Structure 1
């Protein structure tokens, strides 16, 4: 056995100890080399890319080295306590505050979401079909943004409306003038409307009629109005007709057979073409005495007293003198025209004899 082998045999324990120490030193050297070796890490902070070199072993040490703070609401792609390796990519998104108003309440939330829709989803806010979101769901998030959710509710309502009937008049030639007769009773109509009421956050903002049904038809009230002109009843006067009463006019007291109300007065003159000086009764026209009358109302030759005019005698007649109308004779055509037409006179029909003052 050579000297070396004999020595190793005699000092086996020492050899083993030296081997263990050698291995430990090698391991420590490898660890030291690994710790002190530079690593290239890709950092993406709020969407901004940058490459950094570090000799640190954990992510937290790298963040401290780069003065990057990570809050409770921020997003980080790996645990700060995890070891980093060369070529790793670390993503960090810092949360921003946004103000969300919904259901009458406003709260501030911190989010790393990229759109309004993501914020709504992350906060478990339910959006119905008709609800409105401001700004629109696809709007990008920025700090201190206001997000408002308007609750929209549609409700159908039925309304019953009464439609009034119209009154329709129709002329009836078989009915006396001034008389009325009910032909058809009026009936109110009933209409059922369907109204869509739209509420935003509980407040009514619009009402629209979406349907209409006629429940009862409207019937007009029809009234017949008489147009038939009745032939006036004419009382035929004679000297034997009884007196109605006695009155005094211009200091003359007389009895009369009849009183005519609302008599219309006109005047005529012998100077007019076609008017002669002889009356229909055969007398000569005389101003202050002669009048033309409707002999069905005032008998020919009878005296009358005209309020505002005086005593006159029915001595003439004319085609235009009908009913309660009297034509007073005046010599002057100019004065006759000036007389014009006078209405509303009262006339006392006396008889064939002129009253005389007592």
Structure 2
């Protein structure tokens, strides 16, 4: 009974294991086989840093890597020695029955580096020599050269060439270089016409306008002025200047010239060492001269001269005079001689501040009236007080004793502004 049961269980277990294996192969192994990606033709770039003593080992490693892969593929390889990139090559591997002779690629690269050092080019600048095919078993490796970077010197020459092309003037075919140069200079130096203000006077009427002509004759020709039997001033060949006045005279008028004297000026130097009022000529003056151009108009019964132009031909020289100002004081009216100076104290008064009616000698109070001590300064004496001005002694007061004076002001505000001051009192002649 037990033997029959075992015979039935074994086939069922085998059948179950077979189903499990089929399911595993269906969901995991078969999709991988169906959708497996073929190896790409381009491999990522690799950098091989070589020491001069490892050149042969690197070459052999490249050959082994190329021989171990099936099917064509492309590979970018940068060969670096120390801190310099010797070459950047693209390697294409193909199956081929014929074997190309092997060439020492690294030796060529090393020669390139040596030549770069000799010429002084940058370390990353390579040569354009193609890397020959490498010998593989059953495969041929083709190499393609990557264009190296251009030297800095070549870039500088290119920029200089571009600048030369920009600065080089355009030339016309069939024309000599000198003619092209002259034509270019003429086109660049074209003059800009400047309009200048001019005034034209004729028949007693003046007209103002602007013109770009350069001479008086060209202006009159443009204005279509009839010059038959007429005189023009200034002459026709005169250059045009700003504000030039052109006179066209009548037929019976003519020009005349005359030299006219110009009076000289007088320069006065105030000398405190000279007696007041004394004058002394230090340098004589010289008269100047002007050349005057007249238009002479002749009419029945009379002649008339009209000044057209005046030119200075000799400048006058001023006369220098010294004027004595000894014992004088500078006032708003100039230097005034005084008899003596009294140093005293000055106060101020006005209407309503102790003043009423007329002064002690019957004068009406106003600015310029000063109260004094008649024993020191007599009435009606002319005075000059700096800061106050010209005055006259015309009043007195009980508190005005000695060298004290009281100045009349027009307002109480002015009295407060003046206050009490020490002043110089000039007794004038």
- Which TM-score bucket, shorter chain as reference? under 0.3
What's the TM-score, normalizing by structure 1? Answer: 0.27
| Structure with greater strand percent | 1
What's the TM-score, normalizing by structure 2? Answer: 0.23
| Structure with greater helix percent | 2
